[in-house]
Amino acid sequence: MSGQLRIVLSIAMVLTLGPNTAWSNTSAESLITGLRDKSVIVVAHRGCWEPAPENSIEAIDRCRAKGIRVIELDVRTTKDKVLVLMHDGTIDRTTNRTGPVAELTYAELASARLRVGAGGAAASVSGESVPTLAAALIAAGDDTIVNLDVKDADADEVIAAVIAAGMRERVILKHRADPRNASSFCTDRLSGFFVMPILDERRVVRPDRVIREILDTCGDRKSFAFELIFSRIEYARRALKADYGVCNLSWWVNTLRPEFSAGLTDSLAKDDPESVWGVLTDMGFDLIQTDLPVKARSYLALRTRDEPKERSVSSYCSPA
């Protein structure tokens, strides 16, 4: 990947928030701002992959059928420069064939069949082939946000492709915050994009200070969302409770692994969702990425969405 920018792209097409509420032809900025007060949004990690294969068209279709409107997918490049969906560097775990993605042509890759669920040698083989990124975006339709984790592809080429498709204002760019370089989130290169900084406790000691610096440096942006990766609850609380003097801040958290969310994981939420998704919701997180999207959505739909108990007042104010 060229340069120092490791990005995650979210193609913000249209988000359905409820039975009679839809966003259409909106910018990513307006969409995220609109999320803040209406609901906690569930993000399906690699699609709804159980019992469908992960990163498959079927996984996308299952999410749409279940009402999951934000889907995370992984992108890599084949030997002949075709963008495809694949998490690992090889196809060994997820298909009935073997080999590195970067050393296979798309024709060779397309002959493989995806294994069901999270894959592995014991998993049954489906009739699904490895999809191209283009096919995945078509499958997502006009009612889904697709979060693209760019594993091994040229960031500039992906950005150029998005611009060429006329999607600049409907794309979210995520990359890790460098406490020494707040201006990296508002460069000419990113002009017109909605940018979501990732603050990782392992790299950023004082998240509140870095967030303030980013907001001050990129003050012409009307709203922001931040992703937090933390091993201690106190770290997230410091970020979410600070008074930044601005409206419309939204917050993304992953409940996939203990080091992402202070041990508040899907494995715990499976039996006690309140102790994980409930706690994170009360802290003020708006977007929760999970491997249990259907269960999370069902739980959150029944849970009253009050004003977050721990969020600062100013970050929950009404837009000007």
Q: Is residue 1 part of a domain?
A: no
Q: Does position 20 have pLDDT exceeding 90, yes or no?
A: no
Q: Within a 10 A sphere around the Cβ of 37, how many other Cβ atoms?
A: 13
Per-position DSSP letters for 136-171, written without gaps between them: HHHHHTTS-EEEEEEEES-HHHHHHHHHHTT-GGGE
CA distance 115 to 95: 5
Q: Residue 149 is part of which domain span?
A: 7-303
Cis preceding linkage at 51, omega within 30 = yes
| 130-170 residue pLDDT tens | 998 888 878 887 677 777 777 888 777 777 766 766 666 66
Q: How many domains does the chain have?
A: 1
Q: What is the CATH number of the domain that holds 272?
A: 3.20.20.190
> Distances in Å between the alpha carbon of 86 and those of 5, 71, 131, 156, 160?
20, 14, 9, 19, 21
Q: Is residue 76 part of a domain?
A: yes
Give catalytic residues, as residue numbers. 45, 87
CA distance 189 to 168: 11
Q: Is residue 318 part of a domain?
A: no
> Distances in Å between the alpha carbon of 116 and those of 64, 135, 292, 299?
18, 19, 16, 25
Q: Is residue 121 part of a domain?
A: yes
Q: Is residue 319 part of a domain?
A: no
What pTM does this model have?
A: 0.84
Residue 285: strand pairing partners: none
Q: Which residue has the tokens 């609109």?
A: 34
Q: Is residue 320 part of a domain?
A: no
Q: Is residue 153 part of a domain?
A: yes
Q: Which residue has the tokens 């995220």?
A: 32
Q: Is residue 311 part of a domain?
A: no
Contact between 289 and 222 (Cβ < 8 Å) = no
| 277-308 residue pLDDT tens | 999 999 999 889 999 999 999 999 888 555 55
